[in-house]
Structure 1
Amino acid sequence: MASEHDQAVLQAIFNPNSPFGNISEQDQNQELTDDDSSFDADSLRQVKNLESGGVSAAEAGDLQKALELFNRAIQILPRRPSAYNNRAQAHRLRGNTAGALEDLDRAISLSGGIGRTACQALVQRGLLRRLASQNDEARDDFQKAAALGNQFARQQLVQLNPYAALCNKMLGEVIGKLRNPDVGQTGP
């Protein structure tokens, strides 16, 4: 049986875009959920229907209708983070980055930084921060999302880490030379 260190090396070799270290099976397969148990069942059902309609409207390109539906959901259950996260996406699609960031901050705060909505909001906020060249803040968001099991966030962390990128490049070159030892050699 391979040691934890050996597994980490194999992970780096076969998945060069992932951060170094052992990513456990449990982490990769973790299914996050949100705790909606504190909300009234009828209100929750109504809010979920509004959110579903908002997502459908956004996918159809009707961002104004999507925003209206997300706003209604927030009015019914203002302490539930999911509608803020969804509304942030609609704001972002309309080019309202400030509104998106405000809603993402609210979703993360309401979720306590745990659960499915927190993970999604952290990734969205990390991407917006990265686009704004706020790499330290983006890295922080991606680290939190990665700790919740998000693979995309892990990939973003590697891209934001110049040392990891350099190590991955060097490791790739070494592996390439091991696979093709005759390539690049000149003379006897």
Structure 2
Amino acid sequence: MADRQQERPNDEAVLDAIFNPLLPSGGEVPHGVVDETPENDESEEVRESRDLELQGVHKAEAGDMNSAIDFFNKAVLVSPERASCYNNRAQALRLRGDIIGALEDLNHAIELSNGRGKAACQAYTQRGLIRRLEGNNEDALEDFKKAACLGSTFARSQVVQMNPYAAMCNQMLSDVIGRLQAGEPDYES
């Protein structure tokens, strides 16, 4: 059992690389979030949807995004109220290049989760990344703030990085350190 627990961080790192290729290594955005419902509270539909989702995650791990999306589509059909189905499908759609479809699914995941829990944290982070890549930094920052409040350290780092004052201070500090390392004075004469 201890060996299996030691393997989990490696498994999580692989899933991060697959589902979150834009994140730095070790970014902790929840991935493969299949559901937050306790197993003893699940209906037959939720169990079936969870199983389909897991099969989709395995297909995505194997690089077969089309099959992964097929499994995620089936999971949505079986249990359309589960936010994680839309969130995981959004990740696969994004990796396949369907940004519009990914954003639609992320919006729906946030709506279904009422902006709470692991699925919402992941959806806000993924949507923030897409928005930032599209140059919509204001909305990206809002998504990262929400994800940070839900526990994402990656989103928290993005909030700090996107703060114009922090960016200016970081640039000034970098300039001073660079001049000191080059043997130049840390002030202009």
Length-normalised TM-score, structure 2: 0.71
Q: Measure the CA separation in 2 of the matches of 1:62 and 1:133.
A: 29
Question: What does 1:80-99 correspond to in 2, within 5 Å?
Answer: 80-99=82-101
Letter in 2 for 1:184: E
2:43 to 41, 44, 50: 41
Letter in 2 for 1:154: R
Report the CA distance shift for 1:85/1:39 in structure 2 as closer, same or farther (over 3 A): farther
User: Which stretches in structure 1 are left out of the alignment for 5+ residues?
Assistant: 1-30
Q: Measure the CA separation in 1 of the matches of 2:136 and 2:150.
A: 22
Query: Of the two, which has the highest radius of gyration?
Result: 1
List per-residue Cα deviations over 1:48-70 (Å, max 9, x = no partner).
11111101111212111111111
Letter in 1 for 2:184: G
Give the deviation of 1:35 after TM superposition. Answer: 4.2
Question: What does 1:127-166 correspond to in 2, within 5 Å?
Answer: 127-166=129-168
Letter in 2 for 1:36: T
Percent of pairs with identical residues: 51
CA contact (8 A) 2:90 2:103 kept: yes
2:105 to 98, 103, 106: 103
User: Which stretches in structure 2 are left out of the alignment for 5+ residues?
Assistant: 1-29
List per-residue Cα deviations over 1:33-54 (Å, max 9, x = no partner).
9642596432222211111110
Structure having greater relative contact order (Cα 8 Å, sep ≥ 6): 1
Length-normalised TM-score, structure 1: 0.71
RMSD of aligned residue pairs (Cα, Å): 2.8
| Larger CA deviation: 134-143 vs 62-71 | 62-71
Q: Measure the CA separation in 2 of the matches of 1:52 and 1:85.
A: 13
Give the deviation of 1:155 after TM superposition. Answer: 1.4
Q: Which residue of 2 aligns with 1:51?
A: 53
Question: Is 1:79 paired with 2:77?
Answer: no
Q: Which residue of 1 aligns with 2:128?
A: 126
